[in-house]
Each structure stands twice: as structure tokens, then as C-alpha cells.
Amino acid sequence: MSLDAAQHTKGESLFIDDLPEPAGCAFGALFTSPVAHGHVLSLDLSKACRAPGVLGVFTAKDVPAENQIGAIVPDEPLFAEADLHHVGQPIALIVAESPELARAARDLVQIEIETRAPVTCPREAARLGHFIVPSRTVANASGQELKTAFESCAVVVEGTASMRGQEHLYLENQASLAMPLEGGRLRIYAGTQGPTAVQRIAARVLGLPMSAIEVEVRRLGGAFGGKEDQATPWATFAALGALLLGRPVKVALQRDEDMVSTGKRHPYDADWRIGLDADGKILAYEATLFQNAGASADLSPAILERSLFHATNSYYVPAARVTAHSCRTNLTPFTAFRGFGGPQGMFVIEAALARAAEVTGRNREDLQALNLLSEGDLFPYGMETKGCHARRSFDEAKAKYDLAGARRAVDEFNAKSARFKRGVSFMPICFGISFTNKMMNQAGALVHIYTDGSVHVATGAVEMGQGVTAKLRTIAARTLGCEIERITIATTSTTTVANTSPTAASSGADLNGMAVKIACEQLRERLTKLLSSRELPLSWEDLIATAHFERIHLSCGAHYATPKINYDKLLETGSPFAYHVFGCALTEATVDCLRGTYVIDSVKIVHDAGRSLAPLIDRGQVEGALAQGIGWLTLEDLAYSEDGHLLSNALATYKAPDVHSTPKDIQVAFLEDAENPEAVMGSKGIGEPPLMYGIGSYFAIRAAARAFRGHSDTCDLLDAPLTPERLLLYLHGTSPA
């Protein structure tokens, strides 16, 4: 059992809300916009300022430097000023002696707003020309070449698809604690995946050098991308209060506040067209993606980019053109979520293949098999496929889990059952690993060996339940050649390892682990040289003691930058990823066609994990990601009113997967002899790729529903999530809303 797991089990792990509150600690609460779109006519804070226990009420006019927190596009003020762009947009920070007093004072704020009609639909935003950044197109064929390719097709199918968003629902809400230090410096205990981002933005807002701000992260109670960029404002609010009041300030959101004021997975709409030859080979594919970005950029441009890169999933498409629009709406800015835009792009081509299979009277997996990537194939953005395990994963899953037998059993069941129908689907995945911003593909590490033989490892990696701490301990122990019990992983701090990238993009172990390995290799080289000068072997303790006696440096800092990645965004071509992860899942589902309910009977997976650093952790990541993917596409219905209010704003109105939603049978097999030369110790990133196996659950349920309606049914039913309500409408003849 890992150290973190033992502490979690015993309830000893400390999160921000568990930290002892320092003497004089004050508490912040945010007054936020009650409307999705409007103009502030008047703001009266006088009653709030006079409320019991209130220490200060701050707005944009109190910001010492720049009222701007936008990371990619500078379009997101820390405090809203004259114009309001989404419900939950912060307007004022109330700081009081207790959280209860701060929230009570917040209720006394009086505001007069001239409301304006909000835009909540990305297609409507596109029609109005409301874009976050210029639209982008990735293509390996010119317009004329694509036209010619479609004209040569035996079958052309077109349609639409849509996917709603998804709430992160991390166990630990957004929280930060900021403390003033001597000399005008600050220390921030932040619940963030990106300590350096918090440091940078807080410095920008407060008018301080980054060196005057320390950001520390011990661990997060879950994140899933929701604390990559969107942990920053809450930490900055705490830091602002601490600077202005000269005392510690804590800002911790309650669950309803968190759900209303933080971004979620991006909803997408899409138009698509696919063309096949008589054998079922894809000759042409065209898609237009409409990303609902929300009111400001956040990370939407980068997420849009990954949707483009994954728009053809595991398939070779000789003529492809995919255009993506990042559409500005009056909803809370959407943000990073496990998969980072990849799942949305992949869902669209899987929808297209499903319809193509139905139109041609073939099984979807037959078309999938015909079109899988092979070694040396080019993705539409020009990157060559290397170490391609697409077909191997597909074939192993097909044989290991007896796809033919599963389909035969489903057909026999459906022929005998009127009320219950079963469906089966195959879901191959291909997911690129690296930040698509080249600059972010770097990491540092600092390793100390103490004179008693214990080892202290510091990196920029943030532990959020994914097991990166355990993997870093494994890497250090294997490289140094000492017992893993000697390795301690430091609290992540910007004062120890600077200029870090966020722990995201499934690259936490890849980047930080490689930096640790480099540092440990240098230390081992020093120790090996010493050992070679001795006639007798030495124990680890004696070796370290001797090294110190001989004045050998027992500390090492190291830096790693991912090689061989480059992408030209003007030409939309290059190699943005270090490598790809492959895999395939067989999913079976049963639908109660009277009630519209369903059960995911089984999901059986063959996954390409390279040489796993921690097989048990990686298995847990596969199973957890699968559950989250199933939730996104079947249960989690992120709903907004026409005036931009979040309707699914509590656990009473937002259904997340629970133990009853979990497939009865989950099997995970890792590809053997699949070592990855592009990452640390032959491993592969694990966090995000398995989420896409959840797409298979959608199509298994859909297949069962079509068996009830009859296979001649022409309704696309490509609207996710496929909730029981939406499914029931389809089953009994009404198009889903």
C-alpha cells in the first residue's frame, strides 16, 4: 500500500480545509452575478461593509495592479466591473471573521442590473460571430481534393451530433489559504493543479514579482482538470485579501457555489459527413465542431485544438477536413476536463461510423476494423504514426473477449425478448500524450540524499488521487538502487521547483518522472564512481556516509524537456505528441424498453499502458476513467435554463455515476511487450485515454434501442448524454429534445 493510500484510509491526509487556521485568519465569500448577461447600473456595498464581523469588502477598484486573470486570452477580469457575462461571475469579495459572517454580509449587497438577452447556444454564437479566437481547420486535403474524394465514394452519410458538458464533482471543493509574510511577501496554500499559474496570475493582479509569492500544494481531493486553470481565481482572491488586510485569508467554496461559479467539460455541437467505398473504407470525412466556450477563453483554445487532433480517433482517413469554432456564450467559462476536448472530437467520428454502418447494413466494428491506423500512416495534421498498437489492441480484444460470440448471444437474446433488448459495441481509442503547447513540455526535479541514506524528492507534480507520488517514488528507488521506503516525496512548492507546468495532459509522471530519473542517474553516477574505488562492497547507508565524508555532492537538480515535438499552428501541421496511447473496449448493455432504463452489463478492455510503473494504480485509473466516461455519455445531464442559469446546480438535480451505474463485469488487460521508448522507463500516460472507452457504452445502449425500434429506423439519436428520459422518448417514437 502506498503512503498516501495508508494516510487516506486512516483519515490522516490533510487537505486545505484540514490545515490548522493560523491566528487571525479571516474568511472570504464572493458576491457574484445573478444574471447571465447585463450591465451594472448601481452597486451598494454599504450594508455589507457595516455588517457584524466584516473586515473588508473589495471590488475591481481595490486591485493593486491588473484586474485580469486570463491565461491564454486576456478576456477574464478577476472582478466584473460594468458588464456581466455569466451567472456566478465574481463582483465583490467580502472578508469577515468567520465564513458564516462573510456569507451573511454577502446577502446584504444591493445591485441594480440592466439585463440583456444571453446567448447560450454555440451555433447561435457562431451565427452572431461571437468567437473566442479565430476558427481553425485541420486538413490533409484541399477543398477540391475533398470534393473529388466524396464524389468517388459509394456511400455518403451526413448528420449532426451533440454532447453536453460534465461537472467535475471533485470531492474537495475549490479552496485556498493565503498568508502574509515579512517583507510584503505571500504564501498561498492552493488547491491547484498548476502552482506556477497561481503564482503568475496572483503576481499580475497584486503587482508583485513572482519571487515574492510562494505557492504550496500538498495534495488535491480530486481535480479531473477542474483545478488546472479554475483554481487560480479563488487563490488570487485569498491572496488579495491577505495583502490588503495584512492577515491570513481563506476562501473555500461550498458545493452549490462551486457548481455555479466554476467551469465544466465543454458542450459541443457538430455537423459531419463521411464517405466510404464499396468495401467500407473511409475515403473522405468532413466535420464542423461548435465548441461552447462560455463567457471567456479559459483553456478553450487549447481544448479546441485537441478536439481537432483527435477528430479521426484510431482511423486512417485519406481525405479529411475538420473545422472547429470556439464560440463565446453567456455561460460560466468551460474548462479542462479529463480528455481535454479529445472525447468530443472522437464521439463525432464514432457517430458518423455508426450511421454509416446502419445505412450500409453492416456491423460498426467491421467498418472500424477496416479503417484502423497502421504503422507509418499519417494523421490529418501530418504526424506519422509510430509504435502503432491500434490494430493489435483491436484484434486482441476481439479474440480475448470473443466479439463474434458476444454479438451472436445478443442477437439470440433480442430475437426472444420483446421488452428487454441488448446491444454490443466495440470502441477503439487513440490518444496523443503531451501538452500541445510545446513550451509546457518540461519539468524540473530536485533530489537530496541525506547522510542517513534517506532520500527527498521534489518536483512540480501535484498529487490529486492519480498516484503520481507513488510512481515518482518507484522511479527514484529503481534508479538509485535503494529501497523504496527510503524515498520521501516533497510537498509541491514553487520555491523548491520553479516554473512548473500544470499536472495535466496525462503527463505528470512522464515529465516529472523523467526529471527525477535524470537527477537520480547523476547521483548514482557519483556514487558508482566512489564505489569503484573501494575494494569491498558497501551497504547503502555506508555508501552514503562515505560519500559525505569524501565531500561528494549528494544533491542534484535536473531538467527534462520532451524531445521531437513541434507543431506549426499557421500551417496546421507537425508532431504535437511524444507518442499515442491505443486500446479497445467491448461493451454490452441491456435496455428495459418499457421504462427506458439500462444496465451496462460488461466492459472488457485491452489497454496499451507501455511498461506500467504501477500496474495496480494504472488499473484503477482505467476503471475510474471508464466510469467517468460512462457518466458523461449516459447520466450526467448538465442543464441550463434559457436565461443562462445552471439547473443541475446540486447533487439533487445532477446525477453522477454511483455503484449501481458501474458495469457488472469490468475486465482490464494490458498489452504485453509494448514498452514505450518515448517516456520514462517505457511507461505511458494513463489518466485520460481510458475515459474514451465510455463512448462504447453510448453506442451499446443505442444499439439495444435500435433493436427495439427496428433496424430500418432512420432516427440518428446522436445526442448525448443518453439519459433514461431521452432514451424513453426515442424508444416510443418521439425524437429526443
Residue 106's H or E segment, with its range, is helix 99-106
CA distance 196 to 207: 16
Instruction: List active site positions.
Output: 688
CA distance 67 to 222: 29
Residue 603's H or E segment, with its range, is strand 597-607
Dihedral of the alpha carbons of 120, 313, 578, 318, in degrees to the nearest 10: -110
Question: What is residue 716's three-state secondary structure?
Answer: coil
Q: Are 15 and 177 in contact (CB under 8 A)?
A: no
CA distance 406 to 287: 32
Phi, psi of 681 (to 5 degrees): 55, 35
Q: Are 115 and 37 in contact (CB under 8 A)?
A: yes
Provide the residue type at 330 as one letter: N
Q: How many residues does the chain have?
A: 737
Tell me which residue of 177, 635, 682 sits closest to 387, measured CA to CA: 682
Tell me which residue of 234, 239, 228, 238 sits closest to 194, measured CA to CA: 228
Tell me which residue of 60, 25, 94, 53 sits closest to 246, measured CA to CA: 25
Phi, psi of 568 (to 5 degrees): -100, 105
Contacts of 206 (CB under 8 A, 6+ apart): 64, 65, 186, 213, 236, 239, 240, 243
Tell me which residue of 534, 539, 687 sits closest to 617, measured CA to CA: 687
Tell me which residue of 684, 683, 697 sits closest to 605, measured CA to CA: 697
Half-sphere exposure of 364 (CA within 13 A, CB side): 22
DSSP string, 551-585: T---EEEEEEE--S-EEETTTTEEE--SEEEEEEE
CA distance 108 to 98: 16
CA distance 539 to 336: 47
Residue 145's H or E segment, with its range, is helix 143-151
CA distance 265 to 272: 21
Contacts of 129 (CB under 8 A, 6+ apart): none
